[in-house]
Structure 1
Amino acid sequence: MALWDRAASELTKMGYTHFIVTPGASFTYLTGWETHLSERLTLFGMRSDGKAALLVPKLEASGVSSHQNIKIFNYSDETGPTQALQAFVSELDLTAESRVGIESMQLRVFEANFLLQQGVKHLLAADELPMSLRLIKDDQEIAHLQSAAEIVDAALTAALPLFRFGMTELDVAAELEYQMRKLGSQGTPFATIVGSGPRGALPHGGPTTKRITAGELVVLDYGARFAGYAADTTRTLAFGEPSDTARRVYEIVRTAQQAAIDGVTAGMTAAQVDRLAREVIERAGYGEYFTHRTGHGLGLDVHEYPSIMEGNELALTAGMVFTIEPGIYLPGEFGVRIEDDVVVTAKGALVLTRFTKELMVVGN
């Protein structure tokens, strides 16, 4: 079934008459056109019968991929969007009775106010609709994800010889991002994380001017984007010889991560994958220091369905792509996280990110 047919079918099942999205991953997925949120009004809308329309600023209209089934309306900065929006609303037969699905974490008050001014009253959270469409990746999507994964692996290989004691966390982040750009990454899908020593115990600690000293573990969480698709990987390095405790914790995390990867099979639940990693860390006595889910989905967004966490009873299906990234974070001491991107196949997990998980000692 073609993408729009599937989308229309899901709309009907969920009880919506329309679906409207703003620029972002779902917008790109449905239109084939990548743009970004700005101060100018941009909307894609479709009805439950598959009829679709696109509202775009005139300066971007030439970049819209032609699609015979999309009616395109544009406007200039001078005229503003109101008249074109009225035509967009009329084309889709949007009324006060329409039940319009939206992405609740994406649609801004800016766009909502324009739609409300046109008499559209029922804007309803329908985040599950685009995520259900994007949950299973096709061969082309997986190929793009593999290319992004190859970039992050190659970037760390290229950057490793350049890492030295005394570098700041910002220096390390800049070197990784530079190497990814040279290898073809379309920017980064999220802000690079570099946490050294005690700052490694902050799972989402951004890089700072802190200088890295001998013996510290350094958590590197970074990503690349290829053809719109995101890779997300984490490796923990030792800048100089680490302590025995640091080595022991590292091996616990590595064992936990590998247990989850090895255990992935189609038909098991997301919660079961989480449990495979978590049980290793709990048995080692560090359960309270593993403070987040084991993984998240990947695709056009760096965080998609499915969440690999306790309580998620979603059965895994071939074509799902997600991260496996357990960690241990000891406040005031150090953190360890290891993350790979995997695809569910009929034979288990296909690992896309392949940089070694042996503890690398770098610097001089």
Structure 2
Amino acid sequence: MTAHFRRRMERAVAQAADAGLTGLLITPGPDLIYFTGYRPTAITERITMLVLDADHDPHLIVPVLERPDAVKAAGAGAVTITDWADGTDPYAAAAGLLDPKGRYAVSDNAWALHLLGLQEALPGSAYTSMTGSLPMLRAVKDTDEVDRLAAAGAAADAAYEQIVGVRFAGRTEHQVGTDLAALLVAHGHSQVDFTVVGSGPNGANPHHEMGERVIADGDMVVLDFGGLKDGYGSDTTRTVHVGEPTSLEREVFDVVREAQQAAFEAVRPGVPCEEIDRVARDVITRAGYGEYFIHRTGHGIGLTTHEPPYLVAGERRPLVPGMCFSIEPGIYLPGRFGVRIEDIVTVTADGGRRLNNTSHDLHIVA
């Protein structure tokens, strides 16, 4: 396992050099988990930071009281652990490992307190955000990561297969959402991040989540849900209908389904990320609903639910085997209803593979 984390660190240092950076400063959160497997039990004002650069062995700076936990991390054998004690200057300890005039990429969720401390200790240094400077750092997944994402997707699929069997009409969105969250946990999720249950006009808000509206016969209902299973994310959307839909509802649903399928079929190595967005958007625009598709077509997923790559106009980076992302076009008619269909997809050597495999048909619920 140590070699596994070491390879990730070496690859990151090479990417940083290619980007004209001195190195990387990794703070608690998904980046630190990715490179070391270390997840501090308490993220506090005490600085914890992994320093990666080409001129030194990897160093993990930790508070002395947290050193035992850091030593137990899966990738601890790939780093030298340096500790500091309360009452000493942690930034002086960190500064000794940095180039006084270096330029570093810093984890997006680093505390401003720590970054300002480093700037004060090393006024000639410079810092940039990890996503801004190295957006593809965690974007290409290895086989183990894809397997974990597939397992999370299968668990979310199992939850969906069960939720469509419960009664919707006469119950609140919150009640259905609570059932859905419980099913995610029952199928192995350690964390539920969101349960969108958008019924009727609430479905026209892509991030409605769940409220106290009572679901009624004749409602279209958007179900978007996900969380973490074994450290990796799930995120899927299906749209169901209570009772028989109108001709307009069926028309809109069919347009979204066609757009989602067309976008999936466009996935292959070398295709720019923005092309997947364009393909989905073209289908919806040709059908006359372009103004009602109000978000990007997709986002990357891994240790976090939203991460690069993003499938959006202007993102010209090419797809690479191992990238994993959502494809989730939607149409949202204000005051009426919304429709979205979402799968997580991974890029393969010659196309794409869905990690969500429940039916795309319009499911009729009671």
Settle same-fold status: TM greater than 0.5.
Answer: yes
**1:313-332 CA deviation, whole Å, 9 max, x = no partner?**
22212111111100000000
Q: Which residue of 2 aligns with 1:46?
A: 52
Q: Which residue of 1 aligns with 2:93?
A: 87
Q: Which residue of 2 aligns with 1:114?
A: 117
Q: How far did residue 130 of structure 1 move?
A: 4.9
Q: Which residue of 2 aligns with 1:133?
A: 137
Q: How far did residue 128 of structure 1 move?
A: 4.7
Q: 2:80 aligns with which of 71, 77, 98?
A: 71
Q: How far did residue 55 of structure 1 move?
A: 2.7
Code of the residue aligned with 1:106 in structure 2: it is N
Structure 2 portions without partners, runs of 5+: 1-5
Q: How far did residue 246 of structure 1 move?
A: 1.0
Q: 1:30 aligns with which of 24, 35, 53?
A: 35
| Two-structure CA RMSD over aligned residues (Å) | 2.1
* Partner Cα distance (1:37, 1:243) in 2: 52
Code of the residue aligned with 1:53 in structure 2: it is H
Please say if residues 28 and 110 of structure 2, whose CA atoms lie closer than 8 Å, have aligned partners that are also in contact.
no
* Partner Cα distance (2:235, 2:335) in 1: 26
Q: Which residue of 2 aligns with 1:225?
A: 228
* Partner Cα distance (2:27, 2:167) in 1: 41
Q: How far did residue 249 of structure 1 move?
A: 0.6
Please say if residues 11 and 48 of structure 1, whose CA atoms lie closer than 8 Å, have aligned partners that are also in contact.
no
Q: How far did residue 60 of structure 1 move?
A: 4.1
Task: Summarize the Cα distance change of 1:152–1:50 in structure 2 as closer, same or farther, 3 Å threshold.
Answer: farther
Task: Summarize the Cα distance change of 1:36–1:292 in structure 2 as closer, same or farther, 3 Å threshold.
Answer: farther
Q: How far did residue 290 of structure 1 move?
A: 0.5
* Partner Cα distance (1:256, 1:280) in 2: 5
Q: 1:4 aligns with which of 1, 5, 9?
A: 9
* Partner Cα distance (1:319, 1:50) in 2: 29
Q: How far did residue 12 of structure 1 move?
A: 2.0
Q: Which residue of 1 aligns with 2:68?
A: 62
Q: Which residue of 1 aligns with 2:3?
A: none
Q: Which residue of 2 aligns with 1:314?
A: 317
Q: 1:21 aligns with which of 9, 19, 26?
A: 26
Q: Is 1:362 the counterpart of 2:365 in the alignment?
A: yes
TM-score, length of structure 1 as denominator length: 0.91
- Secondary structure of 1:115's counterpart equals helix
Please say if residues 105 and 134 of structure 2, whose CA atoms lie closer than 8 Å, have aligned partners that are also in contact.
no
Please say if residues 10 and 129 of structure 1, whose CA atoms lie closer than 8 Å, have aligned partners that are also in contact.
no
Q: How far did residue 59 of structure 1 move?
A: 5.2
Q: 1:143 aligns with which of 139, 144, 147?
A: 147
Q: 2:127 aligns with which of 120, 123, 129?
A: 123
Q: 1:304 aligns with which of 287, 304, 307?
A: 307
Q: How far did residue 231 of structure 1 move?
A: 1.5
Query: What is the correspondence of 1:166-177 to structure 2 with a 5 Å cutoff?
Result: 166-177=170-181
Please say if residues 329 and 342 of structure 2, whose CA atoms lie closer than 8 Å, have aligned partners that are also in contact.
yes
Task: Summarize the Cα distance change of 1:210–1:152 in structure 2 as closer, same or farther, 3 Å threshold.
Answer: same
Q: 1:99 aligns with which of 97, 103, 110?
A: 103
Q: How far did residue 57 of structure 1 move?
A: 4.0
- Secondary structure of 2:227's counterpart equals strand
**1:133-168 CA deviation, whole Å, 9 max, x = no partner?**
312111111000000001100111122222331221
* Partner Cα distance (1:172, 1:63) in 2: 39
- Secondary structure of 2:240's counterpart equals strand
Q: Which residue of 1 aligns with 2:355?
A: 352
Q: 1:251 aligns with which of 246, 249, 254?
A: 254
Q: Which residue of 1 aligns with 2:191?
A: 187
* Partner Cα distance (1:162, 1:33) in 2: 40
* Partner Cα distance (1:330, 1:262) in 2: 26
Please say if residues 5 and 50 of structure 1, whose CA atoms lie closer than 8 Å, have aligned partners that are also in contact.
no
Please say if residues 221 and 233 of structure 1, whose CA atoms lie closer than 8 Å, have aligned partners that are also in contact.
yes
Q: Which residue of 1 aligns with 2:238?
A: 235
Please say if residues 8 and 50 of structure 1, whose CA atoms lie closer than 8 Å, have aligned partners that are also in contact.
no
Task: Summarize the Cα distance change of 1:61–1:241 in structure 2 as closer, same or farther, 3 Å threshold.
Answer: farther
Task: Summarize the Cα distance change of 1:16–1:269 in structure 2 as closer, same or farther, 3 Å threshold.
Answer: closer
Q: How far did residue 84 of structure 1 move?
A: 4.5
Task: Summarize the Cα distance change of 1:73–1:93 in structure 2 as closer, same or farther, 3 Å threshold.
Answer: same
Q: 1:341 aligns with which of 341, 344, 347?
A: 344
Q: Which residue of 1 aligns with 2:168?
A: 164
Deviates more, 1:29-38 or 1:195-204: 29-38
Code of the residue aligned with 1:6 in structure 2: it is R
**1:41-74 CA deviation, whole Å, 9 max, x = no partner?**
3222222335222233455433331523422234
Q: How far did residue 34 of structure 1 move?
A: 2.9
Please say if residues 4 and 50 of structure 1, whose CA atoms lie closer than 8 Å, have aligned partners that are also in contact.
no
* Partner Cα distance (2:163, 2:361) in 1: 17
Give aligned pairs, total.
356
Identity level (%): 37
Please say if residues 84 and 93 of structure 2, whose CA atoms lie closer than 8 Å, have aligned partners that are also in contact.
no
Q: 1:152 aligns with which of 153, 156, 180?
A: 156
**1:239-294 CA deviation, whole Å, 9 max, x = no partner?**
22222211111111011111111222222222221122111111111011011111
* Partner Cα distance (2:135, 2:279) in 1: 25
Please say if residues 73 and 88 of structure 1, whose CA atoms lie closer than 8 Å, have aligned partners that are also in contact.
no
- Secondary structure of 1:73's counterpart equals strand
Task: Summarize the Cα distance change of 1:267–1:243 in structure 2 as closer, same or farther, 3 Å threshold.
Answer: same
